[in-house]
Chain A
Amino acid sequence: MPPPAGTLTPGLASFLSSLKSSPIETSVESLVSLLRRRQIRGSRSCAIATAHLLRMVLRNIPVRDVTKLIDRVQQIGQRLAEAQPKELAIGNILRRILGLIRDEAEEDRDREAGGYGETGIGSRNATSITSPDRQPGPTEKRSLLAPNTSTTAPAITSLFSPVPLKSASPTSTPGTHTPGGGSPIAAPLSSTPNTAQDLRAEVVEGVQEIIDELNQADDQIAGYAIDHIHSSEVVLTYRPSMTVQRFILKAAAKRKFTVIHAGPFPNDHWPRRLAGNPNTSLDDDEGNPERFQKSLTVAGVTVVMIPFSAVFALMSRTSKVILDPHIVLADGSLVAPAGARAMAQAASMHQTPVIVLSGVYKLSPVYPSDVKTLIETGNPSSVVGYDQGSLLEKIDIKNPLFDHVPADIVDLYITNLGGHAPSYLYRIIADHYRNEDIHLMRSDLE
């Protein structure tokens, strides 16, 4: 079911604009088909679409029970994840949101513990070792009711009104913490007599924070650029990426250096644009090669375009390799556009540091037990066009789009939280996802 987009081509933009006007079920269906058709692709786009959809779901679904809310979100998330099992970012966002709901519910239960005892959500709330600093709200005990006693009608109206005030707005503390499970959520100050509404408001706000984080991740990562790029450095990048572009531009504002950009034949190849196939996916987080070159060139960075095959030859003159992953796995390895493995390997052979720029939304609690399931295969016609008939007839052509890069050839991860060693990523992942969701998603994906 394509979205009722007027002039927009189907994609993230059209989906987001149609989200408000369509019923939830239609939106879910439309996102599922957009994902299936790869009209929304790339971790960031998928994450944004998922977060927006789930926020809509949380706002609109009449749910009296936290358990049911979790079930509902899980069910929708599962459909999305199944629609595009290789986009792990969908699962990451789903886990974050589920974690939010659970945390909120737990918080409520804790507050209630003295007065009302079990609220019916305890069974789902396994004790979490991953979120140590959950705050109990000591002053709120009296106002809490069991969720199943709430009425839904006022809940919806109140949810459309501005969310309750919070002590920390997401924009005021960029980079210091990310919303989601594990991070302390301020205790609600409202005295609404309805826990479910309350909880939902909190959760919706948490989702909004996740969305803000998605939008700010690149800038926050770019904030660390000055720490890593020094003057007259030679930086090697691969594939045009918004994250890398912002990172480099930030450094370019203060330093003079050279960027070697390995041309991403066969995918995202420049002539594709010339061949009358305009890159319409402006929301694509993989960026647009033209824009990448242009913005860097205009900023005064020397941009050297090389074919991928020259990566090894130039590695001896490269001082840093910067990669933008598709997804980062729990062991510190990453999935990145095909070629990244060879690039990182060449870098490690030359003792050149490899820096991976990844928003926290790309960190997935999945371990690479079966890497091949994560590798998407692309259209072979971009390797050999249909004009090369004789070649196509007799020869097998494969075009895997991604590589799995093992953690030991990566030197540094920079997320919106700061720089981390690959060996430390597990900890950040543990901070952001709850244990029960990790396993839930594993079984969903299988």
Chain B
Amino acid sequence: MVSILASDQDNPDGSKSNGQGKDSRSSEAQDHSKAPVAPNGNKAIPEKSAAQKNEKPSGAELKKRAKAEKAAKRAQSKQGQQAPPNDASKSTKPENKKLSDEKESIQSSPQHPPAKLQHRRSGSASASSQRPLQLRPGQQQAPAAEPESRKEPQKLAFISHLYGIPRRTSIAGAGKDVHPSIFALGLQMSNYIICGSNARCLSTLLVFKRVIEAYVTPPNNSLPRDLTIHLSAQIDYLKSCRPLSVSMGNAIRWLKLTISTIDPDTPEHQAKTKLCSAIDNFIRERITVAGQAIASSASSRIQDGDVIVTFAKSSIVERTLAEAYRQGKNFQVIVADSEPLFEGRNSAIALANLGLQVQYASINTLSHFVQDATKVFLGAHGMMSNGRLYSRIGTALVAMMARDLDIPVLVLCESIKFTDKVALDSIATNELAPSHELGFVGTGVGKAGEEDEWRSASNLVGLNLMYDLTPAQCIHMVITEYGSLPPSSVPVVQRLSTNT
């Protein structure tokens, strides 16, 4: 991969595909410092020289490099299988040609018009900002044949702000400083292997611990300053795989704060140990113990004969139900679920395996199963400061229906998911997942071989939002580790939890 990266730097017309130039001020700054390393307009720099330039090739870095190299090989072999090379490519060098092919395919990717990219592009043509983007697997297979022929699906005007850069699905083109475990985590997140606010936050923190352990302060730099920058590169990589969850954002903010408070004179290994134990403490306090507190508080609200409705999968709801079952309460659970993720299936199986009486229903039948319910327990992705619940798409429907039928709606939410942001509807803030995940035939990215003309028509769009916003009036109670409160008290708890 290093070679591709290097040539990518060389490519003068890199501006076209500058897909990832978005976020990281910090990583760019870092890249600037290394920019002279890659001389412009030359052929690929051999790996050796790249290695020489890196000051201290630590074990982790070597490992990373090996991995990156492997990825490069993979990417190249993939390129080989792809469509015939484009003559329009400006460079005649083999690497560059491949690259430009790749760029072509990126540009022709449905959600990725060049105009947008240019707009998004930050000022510098920094190395790591030119990551050759890969489409997600489902997309990749089909367009490999003839990506140019597909028209770009129209962007819906009212959600055009949500079309960002398509999610990264491979480690190709990642920054040099990204730790291998971050690569793995990023892929797991973008493929929903690690999914859910808590799981993502927890795994991020654990992986950051490993990053910190592997970190070596460069000479003439102090750990508090450089580690923050180093972490930023990791965070940017994670962001490019999937936008950060609210809980991750909170945890990262805390971590950066903690790092900045470290005395620069502390010996490195001591500082690292301190940080790792701080992370452990944070996980214990804000996730594990908070979860226990919520589970015991919420399970006390379950009575014999209750019928609890829950939507999709929430670790904390599962825990609560399991806790209530352990206490010997006799109740039923209805797990509502929705395409495309079907998270509820896992939840339903897990609960049924414990011995609970579980019913599973599709979200569109909710008027039936909510009627049977006595309580609705919802998990959260985030709690907005104006008391609204930001959670997996579909949650709002369940809450609305329950409110209409006067069934109490309880939201179980750790304070780490509270945010000071406010939102009024699900459109302004949201995450847009690739539309082909919906599995509709006609989403502009139909499966190869099944494509009729109309199916790839630009005015047939699949829209796959990840979250929706439940109005505060649909929520009767929010149960946090600080206690049970109405949604109007969310900002108070948010202040409480950030001050401590």
Contacts and interface: CB of A to CB of B under 8 A. Distances in A.
Interface of A: 234, 258, 260, 263-266, 270-271, 273-274, 290, 293-294, 297-298, 300-314, 316-317, 337-339, 341-342, 345-346, 349, 375, 383-384, 388, 390-391, 394-400, 403-404
Contact of B426 (A313, A341, A400): A313
Interface in B340-383: 340, 345, 348-349, 352-353, 357-369
Contacts of B367: 338, 341-342, 345, 403-404
Interface of A: prevailing SS: mixed
Contacts of B441: 270-271, 273-274, 290, 293
B460 interface: yes
Contacts, number: 194
B401 A397 contact: no
Interface stretch (B123-131, B389-397, B475-483): B389-397
Interface stretch (B164-172, B298-306, B463-471): B463-471
Nearest to A390: B349
A398 B369 contact: yes
B443 interface: yes
Q: Of B158, B439, B450, which is in contact with the most chain A CB atoms at under 10 Å from its CB?
A: B439
B262 interface: no
Contact of B363 (A258, A301, A308, A337): A308
B349 A266 contact: no
Nearest to B392: A309
Interface in B420-448: 425-427, 430, 435, 438-443
A368 to B, nearest CB: 14
Contacts of A302: 154, 156, 459-461
Given A264-B364, A305-B443, A307-B340, A312 B397 contact: yes
B457 interface: yes
Given A349-B400, A384-B360, A396-B359, A274 B450 contact: yes
A346 B339 CA distance: 19
Contacts of B357: 396
Nearest to A383: B362
B345 A394 contact: no
- Bin chain B's interface residue count: 35 or more
Nearest to A238: B364
B361 A345 contact: no
A306 B427 CA distance: 14
A42 B421 CA distance: 48
A342 B364 contact: yes
Contacts of B464: 306-307, 310
B361 A312 contact: no
Contacts of A297: 442, 454, 457, 459-460
B426 A397 contact: no
A400 B365 contact: yes
A383 B337 CA distance: 10
A338 B370 CA distance: 13
A265 B359 CA distance: 18
Contact of B364 (A234, A301, A339, A345): A339
Contacts of B366: 339, 342
Contacts of B352: 391, 394-395
The interface centre, meaning the residue of B154, B361, B438 with most chain A CB atoms within 10 A of its CB, is B361
B462 interface: yes
A309 B338 contact: yes
Contact of B463 (A270, A290, A293, A305): A305
A390 B347 CA distance: 12
Contacts of A404: 367
B404 interface: yes
